[in-house]
């Protein structure tokens, strides 16, 4: 009779996400995941090929989570796309604050084997791309979406690194920047 399953693929990924959020990507080891899952490390290899595959699944779960949150923020068909894009940008920031290590994984350099699938990235970026298309037009939608994303990502990475040390209201600065970027890409 086969041994009972003591964990699931989803549980392994969620445990991995928790470990990454608590200690960064360097804390993610097969041993650490196994210990939390209550299994021996070799049994994890029934679930994932190696650490890079586990890391890819963690990044994909983070991308899916962010994409779901941005879709909810973008909900409002027929609404002014400027308002939609502002809400999506603020949801991106909320995610970055709640899951800073997961956020850095999404937008950081990863080994090729740990990079998420293109369809996962496409699903997650759809709210930004659609709002950008409505604002900038079909011909400039991708460039507009990339501009918004690049600006927000740069701001958020600096914020997470506590690089804004000259004083002032960082919340106000982010809102100001989002408003200016949205105005800039609007045709």
| Distant-in-sequence, close-in-space partners of 88: CB < 8 Å, separation ≥ 6 | 70, 73, 74, 127, 128, 131
CA distance 11 to 148: 34
Let me know: does 66 contact 106? Beta carbons within 8 Å: yes
Nearest CA-CA partner of 177 in 143, 142, 148, 157: 148
Exposed/middle/buried for residue 103 (C-beta within 10 Å: 0-12, 13-18, 19+): buried
CA dihedral of residues 99, 100, 103, 105 (deg, nearest 10): -110
Question: What token pair was written down for 56?
Answer: 């890819």
CA terminus-to-terminus distance, the chain: 66
Distance, CA of 161 to CA of 170 (rounded, Å): 13
| Per-residue pLDDT, 166 | 95
Establish whether domains 1-48 and 60-185 are of one fold.
no
**At 5, is the pLDDT very low, low, confident or very high (cuts 50, 70, 90)?**
low
The DSSP secondary structure of 96-143, one letter per residue, reads HHHSHHHHHHHHS---GGGSPPHHHHHHHHHHHHHHHHHHH-GGGHHH
Show the tokens assigned to 85: 């894009």
Q: Which fold has domain 1-48?
A: Arc Repressor Mutant, subunit A (1.10.10)
For residue 1, the model assigns a pLDDT of 38
Region 27-36: mean pLDDT is 94
Q: Indicate the CATH number of 60-185 among 1.10.357.10, 2.60.40.10, 2.60.40.1080, 3.40.50.300.
A: 1.10.357.10
Q: Where are the domains of the chain?
A: 1-48, 60-185
pLDDT of residue 47: 86
pLDDT tens-digit series, residues 85-125:
999 999 999 999 999 999 999 999 888 988 899 999 999 99
Confidence of residue 78 (pLDDT cuts 50, 70, 90): confident
**Which residues lie closer than 8 Å to 9 by C-beta, 6 or more apart?**
47, 48, 57
The total number of residues shown for the chain amounts to 187
Average pLDDT over residues 39-54: 88
């Amino acid at each position: 009779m086969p041994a009972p399953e003591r964990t699931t693929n989803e549980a392994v990924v969620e445990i991995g996400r928790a470990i990454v959020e608590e200690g960064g990507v360097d804390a993610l080891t097969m041993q650490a995941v196994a210990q939390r899952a209550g299994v021996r490390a070799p049994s994890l290899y029934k679930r994932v090929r190696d650490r890079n595959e586990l890391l890819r699944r963690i990044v994909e779960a983070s991308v899916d989570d962010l994409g779901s949150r941005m879709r909810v923020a973008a909900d409002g068909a027929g609404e002014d796309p400027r308002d939609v894009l502002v809400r999506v940008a603020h949801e991106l920031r909320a995610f970055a604050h709640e899951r800073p290590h997961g956020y850095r994984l999404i937008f950081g350099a990863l080994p090729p084997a740990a990079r998420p699938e293109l369809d996962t990235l496409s699903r997650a970026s759809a709210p930004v791309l659609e709002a950008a298309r409505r604002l900038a037009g079909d011909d400039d939608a991708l460039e507009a979406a990339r501009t918004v994303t690049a600006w927000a990502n740069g701001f958020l990475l600096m914020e997470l690194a506590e690089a804004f040390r000259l004083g002032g209201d960082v919340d106000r600065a982010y809102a100001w920047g989002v408003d200016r970027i949205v105005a800039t890409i609007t045709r």
